[in-house]
Each structure stands twice: as structure tokens, then as C-alpha cells.
Structure 1
Amino acid sequence: MIYTVTFNPAIDYVVRLDKALEVGEVNRAKGEDCVLGGKGINVSGVLAQLGCESVALGFVAGETGAWLERGLAAQGLRTDFIHLEQGMTRINVKIKAGQETELNGAGPAIPASALHALEEKLDALTESDVLILAGSIPSSMPQDTYERLLARLQGRGVRAVVDATRDLLVNVLQYHPFLIKPNNHELGEIVGRVLTGDEEITAAARALQTQGARNVLVSMAGDGALLVDETGAVHRIGCPKGKVVNSVGAGDSMVAGFVAGYLQTGRYDDALRLGTACGSATAFSLGLAKKSEIDALLAAL
């Protein structure tokens, strides 16, 4: 089974205006949507499009948490959230008025008892399972939570996927994650220099492998992606043609596609192709990629 973890899920309230936002005035929307999300939840959503079942883990609170949980169930996603007694699952307001303005909620405080409850759920994972950790860690939680979770799983053969930045990513390498997915700019920040060209990106990815990462997938927006797999082979792929309308969730979609592709075929080149198709399909869509969109781009790669 694939398990995704979203520490701080959200309901995105997206408001569209037909003119510029006027601060201090009453602004009337021409349309609005509610999107249920968070990085791990996004991964679960795209996995479902690919026919891969997953369980979304994390924390929810209050009536907004109940709403999010019901909404994901209506989409056919399996969840096993921990319910917090205090606070409310956050609402992020995103105003699209030419330029986009965002107001992101803080989310509930996550007590140590809730984190312990999550750890107990993860204790059931075995070598047949995949655990996907994505995004930042809320300020109410220990900032070494990723390390703590992977240390607890060490020796059980669970394939861990980590999509995070800087120290959050570097500090888990000692636990030999199956996959890490920095973008080229994040990879440059980690190694302390601007990376130009495939040769430098490959060398930086290999440096993270020497620290423990098994497979390093580097996304490069419109320039495609580069994978250094655990055998040392380098795989390079370009980006399919299309108009980028939404970058939110594209990285999560790439992770979902890569994991699904690898589990389905056991081949890293197939995983890279499907990951690239999924990431691009989301970037070319207003929401997360649908299967028909993924299939169309996959055929063009």
C-alpha cells in the first residue's frame, strides 16, 4: 500500500475577480471554488487517477476538517486522519485578480500525543509499503519529525519518498530514502551553488546519493527532469509541449507518477516518463491532472 502524509492539509477557497483587487473596498467575485489539498493529498489524488490505491494520513480538526474528510471520501480517496480536539483545519484564501493574492491559514496546533498516534499507525508498515512525506513541517511540531519517522521505520524495508527542501531533505538522507525530488534550484541551494547544465545537476545529485539517497529525481520545470537512479544510471527527459496555467501540485503529481510507474513496471525510465507526464498534465490544467490528460502527454513523450 502507498501511504501519503499531510501534516497541515487545507481547504483552498479560490476567488476569481474580473478586475484588480481593491484593498479597503468591497470586491465582488465572478466565480469561486473550493479545492481540498495539501501536498500528500495531491499525491493521493493523482495516484487515484493512475489506478493506484493509497491511504492519506495526517491531522484534521474542527468542522473544516470534517468537511475536508467528507470531500476526499466523495472523490474516492481513502483517508485515515488523526482527529485533533482543538483548532480547525486551515482555509487558504486565494484571490485571482490578474495578479494572485494568497492568505494562508495557520492550521491547528499539533500536540505530541497526535504525533505519537501517527507514529503508531506507521508502525504497521512493512517492506511492501511506500511512505510519501511531502512539504514543510508545521511550527507546532518538532522540526526533526521527518527524521524521527524514518528512524522509527529503519530496517523494515519501507520505501520512503521525501519531497522537501534544504535541511528537511538533507537530514533524512542517512535513512536511505528510496526517492528524493528536489527541483534544480533547491538542489543548488543544498550544494551551495547555482547549477547550470545537466553535468552539474548530475554531479550534485550524485553528491546526495553519497549521503544516502537511493534515487534522486530533479525536476526542472520547462526543461524536463533528470533522474540519477540507484544503479548510477542517468535518465534525462524533456518536457512535453503545452501552456502552463497552474504550477500548484505539479511537483506532487510528478512524485505520484514516478511512484506509480515504478510500482507498475519496476523500471526507472518508465517511472520518469509517467512522472513527467503527470507533472506536466497538472501544470497544463486548472486543477490536478486527470487520467485522459496524463495519457495524452505520455503518448507524446
Structure 2
Amino acid sequence: MKKSVLTITLNPSVDKSTSVQNIVPEKKLRCDTPKYEAGGGGINVSRALKRLGISSNSLFTAGGKTGNMLEVLLKQEELDITAIPISSETRENFIVVDTTSNQQYRFGFPGEAFTAEEKENILGTVDQLNPIPDFVVISGSLPKDVPADFIGLLVNKYKAKGSKVIVDTSGDALKVALEEGVYLLKPNAGELAALVGKEELASTDLDHAAQQIIAQGQAVLVVVSLGAQGAVLYSAAEKIQMVPPLVKIRSTVGAGDSMVAGMVSILAREGTVEELLRMGIACGSATTMAEGTALFQKKDVDRLYDEVRKL
């Protein structure tokens, strides 16, 4: 029996992507027809999970015309959604590819702060959701001026309910989540270094930092993303490192979220940690093959899954 999954996105977006030939300053640039897609960490995880045959409930904030568009886009993908209304406008992100150089330019806008009433509404909605999810994925950034402690409140609430919490965020929010303790943590090497108070980590230091987090009870699994070099999974009992096959990278938008979705899909099916890491890398790599803000195609994941190498 598949486990239930909830994703939480506190700072969602509508991602607008286009392409143009030869980006230069002071010139009117004729862009191609834009494409609009739902964005934000947890939302992307839910979108990717659906492609992997795993249903989830996607909880997110939504406000204004952009928030309405976000809900429409997600309904078109037939996702199960819980939209929490807010007074401010949902943010947009803007992505442009220069077709001359194939370079991608990504412009991210901040989300507006929540009011005190909106914070209470979010926490109240969390309390009332039924049934209690087996896994909760809290992913993405926080809106401007929302304190990192808010992530801690969410982690604490779901741990008290018996859910296993997966966190993919950064900065102070990541530190707070770790203080509460999570089931799975997915930092990159730089984020892991910051968590242990270092500027950077050598490979042996990487091992020590991840194992220290597990020994302190702050995470059960730590998966360190190494970009093109793959990823390393740490648990109390083992270390597994895998590398992806070479692929033609068109965009890195959504690759980290896709990796999280791949790992969660294995957790939901009660697979092994080796399968978890392999699927995560396959999904992340497959998304880099897609253009603009698009996520992976399932056929690419299936092919890459068998090509991921264990070191």
C-alpha cells in the first residue's frame, strides 16, 4: 500500500519562460511566445510525483491574479490542491534563454510577507488536514520577512502527528528545521558546510558533517547533492554514492525538486535507500534535459534510472 504525501509551498510562483536571440543591453528584444508553469519547491515536487504515479496533496498560499493563475495551472495538471488565500499577490519568476549562446537567465522575485492572521490560517489549515500524511515535504524559500521559525512550527506540528518530514530549503530556515529534527535532509555541499559552520568541505569533511547530523538525531537520512557528480546518501548504517550518466543539459530549473520527488516516490512505495538515491538522481538528471521550466519526461527517468552508476 502506497503511503500518503503532503507537500507544502509557502512561497509559490508562476514561472514565465521564453527565449530570444542575442541578449544585449539597450535594445528592444523580440521574445518567443511565453510559457507559464506552476512553480515553487513543494508544488514542483507534487507535479513530479504525479508523473511517477504517486498522488499527493499540494498545500500552498495563493493571492491575486497570479494566485488564481497558479490554481488554474495546477488544476489543469489534475493535482489535488489545498490553496490558502493570502492578501498579497503570488510572485512570478522569469526565465529567458539566449538562443545564440544557449545560456539561461533566471530572474526570481520575492514573495510578500504574511499577516499575523494569514500565519494563523496556515497553521490552522495544517491542524485540520485529514488524513494525517505519512510523509510531509516542506520545500522552497520563505516569503520576505517571514521568520525561519515558521518552518520550525510546521516541522514540529507534523512530527507530533507522526508524519515523517522531508525538508529542502536553505539558510536560516534549513538550520531551524534541523534543530527540530527531520526524516530526510537534502542539502548541497555548500548548504551542508554552512550547517556545520564551515565555508566549504572536503570529501572526508562531508562524510563527517553528514554523519554528525545523523548521530545528533537531527536527520535519519542525509542526501548531499553534488550536481553533475551525482549525490551521496548517508544513514546511521551506510554511505552510498552514485553518479548520473552524461546528458545534454538544457535547464536546471526544477532539477532539485525533481530529485526530491524521485526520492519521495520510493519512500511512498517503501523501497530501499539504494533505490531512493538512484531514483532521485534519475529524476533530477531527466529534468535538466527539459527546456525552460519544464520537468522531466517519465520515459527519460526510466532510461536514466538503469544508467545511474554506484561508486
Same fold by TM-score greater than 0.5: yes
What per-residue deviation string (whole Å, max 9, x for no partner) do you get for residues 33-70 of structure 1? Answer: 22221111111111001111011111101121111101
CA distance in 2, matches of 1:172, 1:65: 27
CA distance in 1, matches of 2:41, 2:186: 13
CA distance in 2, matches of 1:155, 1:283: 36
2:112–2:144: 8 Å Cα contact kept in structure 1? no
Paired position in structure 2 for 1:216: 222
Superposed displacement of residue 176, structure 1: 2.3
Query: Is 1:122 aligned with 2:126?
Result: yes
> Which piece of structure 1 moves more, 188-197 or 236-245?
188-197
Q: Which amino acid aligns with 1:279?
A: G
Q: Which amino acid aligns with 1:118?
A: I
Q: Which amino acid aligns with 2:90?
A: T
- Which residues of structure 1 form unaligned runs of 5+? none
CA distance in 2, matches of 1:256, 1:171: 22
Paired position in structure 1 for 2:92: 91
Superposed displacement of residue 109, structure 1: 3.4
Q: Which amino acid aligns with 2:287?
A: T
CA distance in 2, matches of 1:200, 1:127: 38
CA distance in 2, matches of 1:174, 1:13: 35
Paired position in structure 2 for 1:196: 202
Superposed displacement of residue 278, structure 1: 0.5
2:111–2:144: 8 Å Cα contact kept in structure 1? no
2:112–2:143: 8 Å Cα contact kept in structure 1? no
1:111–1:140: 8 Å Cα contact kept in structure 2? no
Q: Which amino acid aligns with 2:92?
A: I
Q: Which amino acid aligns with 2:117?
A: S
Q: 2:168 aligns with which of 153, 163, 166?
A: 163
Q: Which amino acid aligns with 2:302?
A: D
Superposed displacement of residue 189, structure 1: 2.4
Paired position in structure 1 for 2:268: 263
1:133–1:163: 8 Å Cα contact kept in structure 2? yes
- Which residues of structure 2 form unaligned runs of 5+? none
Q: Which amino acid aligns with 1:146?
A: I
Equivalent pairs, count = 297
Superposed displacement of residue 128, structure 1: 4.8
What is the CA RMSD across the aligned residues, in angstroms?
1.9
CA distance in 1, matches of 2:195, 2:78: 38
1:255–1:275: 8 Å Cα contact kept in structure 2? yes
CA distance in 1, matches of 2:135, 2:245: 28
Superposed displacement of residue 215, structure 1: 0.7
Q: 1:31 to 1:18 in 2, by over 3 A?
A: farther
Paired position in structure 2 for 1:15: 18
Superposed displacement of residue 94, structure 1: 2.3
Paired position in structure 1 for 2:7: 4
Spell out the pairing of 1:174-193 with structure 2 (5 A cutoff): 174-191=179-196, 192-193=198-199
2:5–2:268: 8 Å Cα contact kept in structure 1? no
Q: 1:233 to 1:103 in 2, by over 3 A?
A: closer
> Which piece of structure 1 moves more, 94-103 or 14-23?
94-103
1:17–1:96: 8 Å Cα contact kept in structure 2? yes
Query: Is 1:297 aligned with 2:299?
Result: no
Spell out the pairing of 1:102-113 with structure 2 (5 A cutoff): 102-113=106-117
Runs of 4+ in 1 over 4 A off after TM superposition: 125-128
CA distance in 2, matches of 1:207, 1:59: 35
Higher relative CO (Cα under 8 Å, sequence separation at least 6) belongs to: 2
CA distance in 2, matches of 1:153, 1:30: 44
Q: Alignment partner of 2:240: what SS? A: strand
Q: 1:102 to 1:276 in 2, by over 3 A?
A: closer
Q: 1:140 to 1:4 in 2, by over 3 A?
A: same
Q: 1:10 to 1:155 in 2, by over 3 A?
A: closer
Superposed displacement of residue 133, structure 1: 0.8
> Which piece of structure 1 moves more, 59-68 or 165-174?
165-174
Superposed displacement of residue 193, structure 1: 4.1
Q: Alignment partner of 1:79: what SS? A: strand
CA distance in 1, matches of 2:113, 2:190: 31
1:61–1:87: 8 Å Cα contact kept in structure 2? yes
2:244–2:307: 8 Å Cα contact kept in structure 1? no
What per-residue deviation string (whole Å, max 9, x for no partner) do you get for residues 176-214 of structure 1? Answer: 2110000112212222142222x3321110121133111
2:231–2:281: 8 Å Cα contact kept in structure 1? yes
CA distance in 2, matches of 1:238, 1:96: 27
2:9–2:60: 8 Å Cα contact kept in structure 1? yes
Q: Which amino acid aligns with 1:106?
A: P
Q: Alignment partner of 1:93: what SS? A: strand
Paired position in structure 1 for 2:155: 150
Superposed displacement of residue 110, structure 1: 1.7
2:166–2:183: 8 Å Cα contact kept in structure 1? yes
CA distance in 2, matches of 1:257, 1:128: 18
